[in-house]
Structure 1
Amino acid sequence: MLPTTFRARRIGKIDTQWQAVFFDYWPAYEAWYRHNMKADINPEALKRGHRQLATVMPEMLPLYESFLEASNDCPVAAQFLTGYQPPAYLVSCSQAVLLDEEPLLMRNYDLSPDLSENLLTQSNWLGQNIIGSNECLWGLDDGMNRSGLVASLTFGGSKQLGKGFGIPFIMRYLLQTCVNVKQAIKVLQRVPSHMAYNVTLLDRQGSFATVMLAPGQGVIVTRERCITNHQTQVTWPRQATFTKTQERKQFLDELLARGKVNEQQLREAFLAAPLRSANYPQKFGTVYTAVYKPLSETMSYYWPAEKAWQHSFADFRSSEKTVNLGKQTSLAMVHGDVIEYAESDHGLSANIRQQLLQSLVYLPISVVGQPDALEALKRNLRTENSFCWKDYGRQVAQIWRYPVPAN
């Protein structure tokens, strides 16, 4: 099991509350930043970053100056905190908008829990109250402001680097300065991102958009209700195969196309494969599932077999929660169960079906003889409550059965 502790903190006072966050996380960020930037950490780069921040995000300058004071004017931190031209970083993630009883945005954040801040923050800077998942000390991976705007990011599937800001800093900026989707789109069209990312937006009026950002191309504004880790097409096939971005996108498209999908059904889908990943050994497991509701001004983190961790603007409390993220199920474990129970009519519990399904998600294509049988098995594990061990054993046998070539 992977016990992981999440923290919720108010960081309204930069000189004390945010400074505590800085002292907690800066040693790890500094090591990462120095390792990746090397000679690119220099006074000229700092001046360039400061100039870009002042030009592109002038509203953030008062905050930046406060961050500098709280960080004891460390020159390396000063360059890092501009948010301009950071090293490359990748996350996986899936996200979707649901216009149910009230509009909501749901997302899975996929990374190693050891690399994630695992920090939920509530801030009230420059007159805007924000709750969100903290990243890069003052940036955000996802969040909601009290004006009713929600934003969440996914990696866009390209390894190309360009000139621009790191996406967590852009996320913070748009939530600080925008009150609806229309305004947020204008910010994303104006502020350059140094890597490819998708940002899904939702406001309390039910307006939504998914905006595709990438260096060297124009910003693409879409009405996609769901997005994973590619944009209009796959440009990095190896990464797409590793993260199964197309499979996850297709799964979400089909789920939402059914209509009448409610929050609980969507959440159950996000908490299971193929949307939820247990690929923690390779640094891309699901760290949390988040749900933001701008009308009720609430958000929650979810994990399988754990009680939801709920927060709101009206009642945000500093707290901690330790959860077991689970472990990747190996094929050896699954086969042991099949040997013991293959002739049993004993039904599979939802938890067992999820573990079996997770083991199949990472099954190498090279060992699959019947891809159609594999997809049928995955489909049955997701939807058939009456599925039993005998059914499972029979269908697993079909997966490995290679066609006999004709003489």
Structure 2
Amino acid sequence: MRRQRMTFQAIAVGDGGDGRWAAYARVLWQEMEGLLTEEGRTPEGADRVRVLFRAHMPELVPVLDRLAGQLDRPEADVFLTHAALRPFSPACTQIGRDGTLLRNYDLRPDQCEGAIVSSCFLRPVIGMQDMLWGLLDGMNDAGLAISLTYGGRSAYERGFSILIVVRYLLETCDTVDEAVGRLRSLPVAVPQNLTLVDAAKAVTVFVGPDMPPTVAPDACAANHQHLPVTDEQERAMRTQERLRAIRAAGVDVAAMLKPPLYRSVDEQGSRTLYTARYRPVEGRVTYYWPGESWQQSFGDFAPGFRTVHWGRAS
């Protein structure tokens, strides 16, 4: 097997206005531009997503304006609304229990930014950033943590990418109940599952463009919502197998680093890229890979780089 590797970085960007966020984002902008939908490239579509963002995420409008101004690129403000992006479907597994949020994130290494970002746009937030300021998972200073998985269905309508929804909830909510309440008014483009954890509660919520937010039977998720799962989907994603495994294991990091929860590279090049364990009341997150870990916290956030190697040299 040819060795794969990926470099993760930890960066602090403050409120996004001093150039640190822009220096990071400009490097990625050329490849990001291609992720805009055709509608988002039209004047009418651009106006539509700007209106959508102002209507549903008004608290973040000043932040978006600040970031887009720092980026100073055509269509930057449209991109940053996350309401005109091509959909994506990572295969992840996650669980919330006893004040802990534990998740595996599975995707191709070249499709993940791998940026652990400490920000203070509206409040202190730490998380794994994607699409320039969206979040795959994260926590805030109130002790709330959230992570996402793909919901496993092909429905699509106009709405927000789940990445900006995670960002918005962490920037504006203190508790699981508050975040679940806000979810009810947010249009989401594709089916997704969110697991939310605070000091008192852990829940998983199914969301999608064709359904109201629905609380799952327990606070764990893989890549399906409503049964049945087709045989083809199960062969490709092993979503039911992974859900059974994580329910049995609980918040056990060692189990997340072994099959079936830990996934080696598949035919499409996807694999488990990292495991994250959030303890939001303590303000701490630890990222894990086989044989390696990296802890970050609000009290001791350390910028830097980690290069992870998989497989063996051939």
Please state which band the TM-score falls in when normalised by the shorter chain. over 0.9
* Counterpart-to-counterpart distance in 2, 1:57 and 1:246: 34
1:6 to 1, 5, 8: 8
Deviations 1:158-207 (A, max 9, x none): 1111121000000000000000000000111110110000000001x231
1:114 to 107, 110, 117: 110
Shift of the 85–237 alpha-carbon distance from structure 1 to 2, 3 Å rule, reads farther
Q: Does structure 2 conserve the Cα–Cα contact (< 8 Å) formed by 1:229 and 1:240?
A: no
Deviations 1:367-394 (A, max 9, x none): xxxxxxxxxxxxxxxxxxxxxxxxxxxx
Q: Which residue of 1 aligns with 2:272?
A: 286
Q: Which residue of 2 aligns with 1:78?
A: 77
1:133 to 117, 128, 140: 128
1:188 to 183, 192, 195: 183
Deviations 1:283-313 (A, max 9, x none): 320000000001221101101122x101110
TM normalised by structure 1 equals 0.73
Shift of the 13–179 alpha-carbon distance from structure 1 to 2, 3 Å rule, reads closer
Deviation (angstroms), 1:241: 2.3
Deviation (angstroms), 1:223: 4.7
Q: Which residue of 2 aligns with 1:325?
A: 310
Question: What is the total number of aligned residue pairs between the two structures?
Answer: 310
Q: Indicate the RMSD between aligned Cα atoms, in angstroms.
A: 1.7
Q: Which residue of 2 aligns with 1:207?
A: 201
2:145 to 143, 150, 156: 150
Identity of matched residues, %: 34
Deviation (angstroms), 1:78: 2.3
Deviations 1:222-242 (A, max 9, x none): 351211000122466533320
* Counterpart-to-counterpart distance in 2, 1:64 and 1:230: 32
Q: Which residue of 2 aligns with 1:362?
A: none
* Counterpart-to-counterpart distance in 1, 2:245 and 2:186: 32
Deviation (angstroms), 1:81: 1.0
* Counterpart-to-counterpart distance in 1, 2:127 and 2:15: 16
Shift of the 236–69 alpha-carbon distance from structure 1 to 2, 3 Å rule, reads farther
Deviation (angstroms), 1:43: 1.1
Q: Which residue of 1 aligns with 2:119?
A: 123
1:245 to 239, 248, 271: 239
Q: Secondary structure at the match of 2:109?
A: coil
Deviation (angstroms), 1:317: 1.4
Structure 1 stretch 173-182 or stretch 211-220: which is displaced more? 211-220
* Counterpart-to-counterpart distance in 1, 2:86 and 2:229: 20
Letter in 2 for 1:107: R
Q: Does structure 1 conserve the Cα–Cα contact (< 8 Å) formed by 2:93 and 2:242?
A: yes
Q: Which residue of 1 aligns with 2:300?
A: 315
Shift of the 154–283 alpha-carbon distance from structure 1 to 2, 3 Å rule, reads same
Q: Secondary structure at the match of 2:282?
A: coil
Deviation (angstroms), 1:69: 0.6
Q: Which residue of 2 aligns with 1:220?
A: 214
* Counterpart-to-counterpart distance in 1, 2:77 and 2:266: 32
Q: Secondary structure at the match of 2:110?
A: coil
* Counterpart-to-counterpart distance in 2, 1:39 and 1:167: 19
Deviation (angstroms), 1:29: 1.0
TM normalised by structure 2 equals 0.94
Deviation (angstroms), 1:255: 3.1
Deviation (angstroms), 1:28: 1.3
Shift of the 13–59 alpha-carbon distance from structure 1 to 2, 3 Å rule, reads closer
Shift of the 318–49 alpha-carbon distance from structure 1 to 2, 3 Å rule, reads same
Letter in 2 for 1:275: L
Q: Secondary structure at the match of 1:279?
A: coil
* Counterpart-to-counterpart distance in 2, 1:188 and 1:268: 32
Deviation (angstroms), 1:129: 0.3
Shift of the 129–111 alpha-carbon distance from structure 1 to 2, 3 Å rule, reads same
5+ unaligned residues in a row in structure 1: which ranges? 257-262, 328-407
Q: Which residue of 2 aligns with 1:88?
A: 87
* Counterpart-to-counterpart distance in 2, 1:238 and 1:26: 36
Larger relative contact order, structure 1 or 2 (CA cutoff 8 Å, min sep 6): 2
